[in-house]
Structure 1
């Protein structure tokens, strides 16, 4: 197990397997990944453990036969390379959907209503009391949200926006989605032009890297807010910093970063961006559910069955 896990996950894992626990919360080093592939029958890696083609290239068929990823995103694992070396990769979809959608809504509200800036003002001791033009933000109810990526998480965000805040929903996706509320599929360009809030909910990987860059940001409305709960490199961070610094967009709310955990000083100094430390699934019951799903995958694999979330 590549990270310390919730107690219930640890307890169940130890009833199923002989387990070695890695004590560090930092990503595995290349040497640790190579050793793990040689020493263990299965590994439960997580975000940041970059099992690349170069890592697998040193092996014909490693002892490890399954990577049960703790998380839904697997852009840190070269799935084709794993498959070519006889290693099955699984993930934990579903368990993360609602928690990640909740964080998207948190960021929409915090960014629109300048909540982070306001909290810093109160903590500084400089707040002089309420007045009619104090920290005027953007009203969320009734606005238009554009969602890029309409998978499980994107749809959960759309439902919250529509039913909770009466928002019009636009989306950009490779295929049209049937939903039980009004939502209109549009191009990325039209979504940028028409949306008051834009939420990124796409998978990470080469296809989505820098999906939002200077051209996209230039197409947004001046009051619009960009929300990213997907992967940091979906956004060209330097282009976003420029847009925020020059007030070409209304603001941004970020839970992920291009070079995570490094966050540029220029970004940290801006008041018109809300910064969270990758809290998308940070609730005990959610992280426990993710761990249990990873263990379900491992249990099925070693029983000779196809894991329920094999990729």
Structure 2
């Protein structure tokens, strides 16, 4: 059986959903407004510097951000009234739109190929990744066994990685069919497992490395380093979309925060956190 890291996704969602329901009300006794944010782990990384800057300019606002529910779990919580806004890569389903969900595109972040710091590797080719994930290559150049840290089959990181090439799609499927593989449910779990597992290889959002200063070895892919610049000029192929999701009932305090995120100051902060901002305004104008 696979070595799945942490509790099952359904249990995580249930526990976090309950915690959010039991969390503070939007208006606290002291009069401070609370904005409840959640989403995918990689997207929440970029929220940290944005929240810090916004609270500094608006000390009467409190922004609560719990451990990541994942895009799907967070959208469920949002539509149930347990959250005020969601940030992630998820494209809303028609039924979620029918329930009042509103998705606004913001930008993209590079998805990096990463290893533990001790792995003697600085660049990897698509062909090498195909051979590693298919199991044809099982050791690094120093003889150390390669330990893949996978994401669930339906995870966006898995889809993006598999999209590198037809052979890579087959290789990723092959890796997921093997017994005893490490499968990390959330972005933070994956980052942690890559960092602490000897001979590891996995993926991580560039924002995680820039914001959290994670002890990961970031590989260039076919000689191209993951960066906002290489994503913008089209030379780096792996990217995750960033969207903000609200509802028709979203309070004005939340919309003001989103306005800040889309403002020149917010865009600059996001850029330093590894985001290629492609939208011009809160509604993408």
TM over 0.5: no
Q: TM-score, normalised by structure 2?
A: 0.33
Q: TM-score, normalised by structure 1?
A: 0.31
Higher strand share: 2
Work out which of the two has the higher radius of gyration on C-alpha atoms and give 1 or 2.
1
